Amino acid sequence: MLSLYPDAPRHGLSSHQGFVLLFESEHGRPVAAIEADALTALRTAAVSMLATRRLGRADPRIFTICGAGEQAEYHLRGALECFEPSEIRIWARRPEAARDLAARFPDAPVPVRVCTSLVEAITGADVITTATAARSAFLAGADLEPGQHLNLVGASLADMREVDDTAVARMLMFTDSLDSSSRESGEIMEARAAGAIGAAYQVTELGAVLAGAATGRTSATQITGYKSHGLIVQDLAAARHIAQTLA
């Protein structure tokens, strides 16, 4: 049970509000009701970290996060929890928001640095996560470097995007759902409409890589991208894990 209000963060609320209701499968008894905003934030960042492990270069050290909202914070937490970074950079269109986010990590074991220049933020980064409310592309593919991995998290509707056509064309692209990607990925849909990518452009499901049915990164110089849409099955798996942990 979920409401999606993109403007809710302006009022200090999550854009995803509601509950995930979990029932056990043997007799249909209710097990848990979990806040959707917390679960969505945790699950989204967790899958991005999994994608980074499987698609990024081994031992990534420099993480760049574009954005300063809820998902940016949870992806920062994920980077600290799942990897051993040497530096985390934050860039946001409002520098004061980036500074506020960095200030919430005074005890981080590595520098959490605010960058006012996007090019400065992504130069030399191993992993770039875009978690913004942008409706048009702000990250230029010409500025990407060989070997980088991108988690494209923020643009969740067909008329929204965070990276330009050149970036899409340069990426080896993966997603959590081909069905969702075909209907909701503004980056891929608009790049295809503009002729920047053709019919042969391949988008691969992350699940196929995890199952061994498809290959991920095959060289250290490839630029990989993971387009996050979010799946109910991921929410259910996360909810089940939380319920079992708290039982």
DSSP 98-148: HHHHHHT-TT-SS-EEE-S-HHHHHTT-SEEEE----SS--B-GGG--TT-
Query: pLDDT band for position 116 (50/70/90)?
Result: very high
- pLDDT value at 14 more than 80: no
Q: The tokens of 138 are what? A: 């702000």
Given this model, what pLDDT does residue 232 score?
86
- pLDDT value at 127 more than 80: yes
What fold characterizes domain 59-231? Answer: Rossmann fold (3.40.50)
Cα–Cα distance, 151 to 123 (Å, whole number): 16
Q: Which residue has the higher pLDDT, 157 or 168?
A: 168
- pLDDT value at 187 more than 90: yes
Query: pLDDT band for position 123 (50/70/90)?
Result: very high
Q: Which residue has the higher pLDDT, 244 or 247?
A: 244
Q: What DSSP state is assigned to residue 168?
A: H
> What's the pLDDT tens digit per position in 57-115?
999 999 999 999 999 999 999 999 999 999 999 999 999 999 999 999 999 999 999 99
Closest CA to 220 of 50, 56, 83, 59: 56
Q: How many CB atoms lie within 10 A of CB 236?
A: 15
- pLDDT value at 15 more than 80: no
> What's the pLDDT tens digit per position in 18-73?
888 999 889 999 999 999 888 989 999 999 999 999 999 999 999 999 999 999 99
pLDDT, averaged across the chain: 93
Given this model, what pLDDT does residue 33 score?
92
Given this model, what pLDDT does residue 197 score?
95
Closest CA to 57 of 130, 153, 124: 124
- pLDDT value at 190 more than 90: yes
> Between the CA of residue 141 and those of 10, 121, 171, 208, 217, what are the distances in Å?
29, 14, 9, 26, 18
> What's the pLDDT tens digit per position in 197-225?
998 999 999 999 999 999 999 999 999 99
